[in-house]
């Protein structure tokens, strides 16, 4: 069935999926999807956001134009993409998954306001040989806007009036970014498609332009997507339709309480997980419902898992996958597993389309609007309020920690503070916080830190310890990028998350040209805005603020967590 195998689903889930497929076909679900029938979901404005269905045949930019852009980029050694959410995650998968093309520029993606990360990325690039690609649908998203200002100044310091010749933009027609790019003399401005939301834009210019700039054969990538679209066509019965069948599995598993979508990705496709996190969580996590994607969590023995898991194993045909034996053990133990076989990495854009169809179908099964993100907007509003106060007063609002010591300060919402009373050290606070875990809950580690390999390694150790000790699903997000991704489900989904937010002092801040608030201030406002929305939604959240070196501080949290779990 186009690489999708359902044979390892548990009998109970398989029966639900088969019954759901019969009902879907009887209701002409696939035909209604392709006909843009909003009544398939909530009867709201869904039809206005289904332009992604056309992208395999009408991607918004022609093959000849992409080839011309690729040829034009041959004089650069690197492309630096500045974006957020759907504008950055698809290109990041392309850069990590498709083979490097000799002679073509190397793609780097920056989607952070952490000053250490911004400085680290810039230090590794030569401005005289770098093409800066600013990608933003609205053209007004905070993070790409301040990154644009910073890196235009970076280019101008080396190139003077020629800085604009080292810049490109991908944005929707009429956006603020389009106007700024024109004024600054950008090399190219490529227009997106307004009826395609950010997380569904991988097959649009937002995904195709970065792929072309790096020398990839976009004709081949789109041809595979066209084949997948044909396989997902209305005339195909639900269980013979690779996108619809997967969506029915995801949706009915969630309704049955198996809402922790645990992604097991073979080595060659590992980067796909971050893109899937946004697509699934931001589309389904609302109105108290959600599919919570779990990406990058090490596999454990079957006995460690609760009844809330659905495992989807995505593998490249012919690739040695160390997880295969562990996944077979999960299926043998009766845990629900389905497998997707991808013929080769060049089928990446076909997988983008399969999962977009699946997510739309899952949203229909769950009765949610898959194309909006109301709780992402809530965090943006809080961030804007805090940065406006900084602009007016020169400081963020004062705040009092619940506890300080061991090189950290700990904060908690007033409603949650009583739960933590009596703890006398960081380990005790973490122990009391984690004691609120209930069956089918998950733990989210939300780190507003440089997304460096060493920080990723420490956080991986923390989530491994949590899984081993508690059996609960674990998620890790680096702020602010997760705000445009899983952050929607954390706030709009069910109250099943127990969150540890990690913030830090910035050893060396970074100014934003023309702005009063620096990168560090913006990041702090984003973290505090995120925390305030979590608190307002009654979420169980703890914030640990690191003083001094962030890496040493993160190691201290890890050590305290080990003691708490003991």
pLDDT at 3 over 90: no
What pLDDT is stored for residue 458 in this prediction? 98
Q: Do domains 4-35+234-366 and 63-222 have the same CATH topology?
A: yes
Mean pLDDT of 166-192: 97
Can you tell me which residue has the tokens 């084949």?
A: 227
The CB-based long-range contact list for 321-326 (8 Å cut-off, 24+ gap) reads 321/266, 321/267, 322/267, 323/264, 323/266, 323/299, 326/299
What pLDDT is stored for residue 4 in this prediction? 85
Mean pLDDT of 66-94: 97
Mean pLDDT of 206-226: 98
pTM above 0.95, yes or no: yes
pLDDT tens figures, 402-442: 999 999 999 999 999 999 998 999 999 999 999 999 999 99
Strand locations in 49-136 (E) = 78-82, 106-110, 130-135
Q: Which residues of 496-529 are buried (b: 16+ CB within 10 A; e: fewer)?
A: bbbbbbbbbebeeebbbeebebbbbbbbbbbbbb
Displacement of CA 6 from its chain's centroid (Å):
26
Q: What DSSP character marks residue 398?
A: P
pLDDT tens figures, 382-409: 999 999 999 999 999 999 999 999 999 9
Tokens of 520: 């560090």
Mean pLDDT of 253-264: 98
User: How many residues would you count in the chain?
Assistant: 566
Confidence tier at 7 by pLDDT (50, 70, 90): confident
What is the Cβ-side half-sphere exposure of residue 27, based on CA atoms within 13 angstroms? 16
Report the SS3 class of residue 347.
helix
| 209: phi then psi, degrees, rounded to nearest 5 | -65, -50
pLDDT at 302 over 80: yes
| Burial category of 194 from C-beta neighbours within 10 Å (exposed 0-12, middle 13-18, buried 19 and up) | middle
Report the SS3 class of residue 223.
helix
Confidence tier at 6 by pLDDT (50, 70, 90): confident
d(CA 92, CA 146): 20
Domain 4-35+234-366 sits in CATH 3.40.50.10490: yes
Mean pLDDT of 56-85: 97
What pLDDT is stored for residue 208 in this prediction? 98
Query: In CATH, what is the architecture of 63-222?
Result: 3-Layer(aba) Sandwich (3.40)
Strand locations in 146-285 (E) = 167-171, 188-191, 260-265
CATH number of 374-565: 3.40.50.10490
The CB-based long-range contact list for 95-100 (8 Å cut-off, 24+ gap) reads 95/210, 95/214, 95/271, 96/270, 96/271, 97/268, 97/269, 97/271, 97/272, 97/345, 97/348, 98/211, 98/214, 98/216, 98/345, 98/346, 98/348, 99/345
Mean pLDDT of 168-195: 97
Please report, for the chain, the start and end positions of each structural domain, with discontinuous segments joined by +. 4-35+234-366, 63-222, 374-565
For residue 231, list its beta bridge partners: none
Mean pLDDT of the chain: 96
What pLDDT is stored for residue 219 in this prediction? 97
pLDDT at 1 over 70: no
Please name the helix (run of DSSP H) or strand (run of DSSP E) that holds residue 531, with its range, or none: helix 519-536
């Amino acid at each position: 069935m186009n690489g999708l195998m359902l044979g390892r689903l548990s009998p109970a889930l398989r029966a639900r999926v088969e019954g759901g497929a019969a009902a879907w076909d009887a209701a002409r679900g696939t035909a209604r999807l392709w006909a843009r029938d909003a009544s398939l979901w909530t009867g709201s404005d869904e039809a206005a956001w289904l332009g992604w269905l056309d992208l395999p045949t009408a991607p918004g930019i022609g093959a000849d134009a992409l080839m011309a852009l690729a040829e034009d980029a041959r004089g650069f050694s690197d492309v630096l993409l500045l974006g957020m959410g759907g504008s950055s995650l698809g290109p990041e998968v392309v850069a990590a998954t498709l083979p490097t093309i000799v002679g073509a520029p190397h793609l780097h993606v920056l989607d952070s306001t952490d000053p250490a990360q911004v400085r680290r990325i810039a230090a590794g690039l030569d401005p005289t040989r770098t093409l800066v690609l600013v990608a933003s649908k609205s053209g007004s998203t905070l993070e790409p806007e301040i990154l644009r200002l910073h890196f235009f100044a970076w280019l101008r310091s080396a190139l003077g009036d020629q800085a604009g010749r080292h810049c490109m933009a991908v944005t929707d027609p009429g956006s603020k970014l389009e106007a700024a790019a024109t004024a600054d003399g950008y090399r190219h401005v490529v227009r997106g498609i307004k009826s395609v939301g950010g997380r569904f834009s991988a097959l649009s210019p937002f995904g195709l332009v970065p792929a072309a700039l790096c020398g990839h054969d976009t004709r081949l990538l789109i041809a595979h997507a066209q084949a997948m679209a044909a396989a997902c066509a209305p005339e195909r019965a639900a269980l013979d339709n690779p996108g619809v069948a997967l969506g029915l599995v995801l949706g009915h598993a969630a309704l049955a309480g198996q809402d922790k979508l645990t992604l097991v990705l073979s080595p060659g496709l590992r980067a796909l997980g971050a893109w899937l996190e946004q697509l699934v969580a931001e589309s389904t996590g609302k109105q108290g419902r959600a599919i919570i994607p779990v990406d990058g969590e090490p596999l454990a023995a079957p006995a460690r898992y609760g009844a809330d898991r659905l495992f989807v194993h995505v593998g490249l045909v012919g690739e040695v996958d160390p997880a295969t034996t562990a996944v077979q053990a999960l299926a043998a133990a009766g845990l629900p597993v389905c497998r997707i076989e991808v013929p080769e990495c060049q089928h990446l854009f076909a997988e983008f389309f399969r999962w977009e169809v699946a997510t739309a179908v899952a949203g229909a099964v769950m009765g949610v609007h898959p194309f909006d993100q109301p709780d992402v907007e809530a965090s943006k509003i809080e961030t804007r309020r805090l940065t406006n106060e900084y602009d007016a007063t020169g400081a963020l609002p004062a705040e009092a920690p619940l506890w300080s010591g061991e090189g950290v300060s700990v904060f908690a919402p007033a409603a949650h503070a009583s739960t933590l009373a009596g703890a006398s050290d960081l380990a005790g606070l973490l122990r009391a916080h984690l004691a609120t875990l209930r069956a089918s809950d998950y733990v989210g580690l939300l780190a507003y830190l440089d997304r460096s390999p060493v920080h990723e390694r420490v956080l991986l150790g923390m989530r491994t310890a949590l899984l081993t000790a508690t059996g609960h699903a674990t998620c890790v997000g680096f702020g602010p990028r997760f705000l445009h991704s899983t952050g929607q489900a954390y706030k709009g989904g069910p109250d099943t998350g127990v969150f540890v937010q990690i913030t830090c002092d910035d050893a060396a801040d970074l100014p934003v040209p023309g702005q009063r608030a620096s990168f560090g201030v913006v990041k702090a406002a984003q973290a505090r805005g995120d925390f305030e929305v979590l608190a307002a939604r009654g979420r169980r959240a703890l914030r640990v603020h690191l003083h001094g070196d962030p890496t040493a501080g993160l190691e201290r949290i890890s050590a305290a967590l080990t003691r708490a779990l003991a």
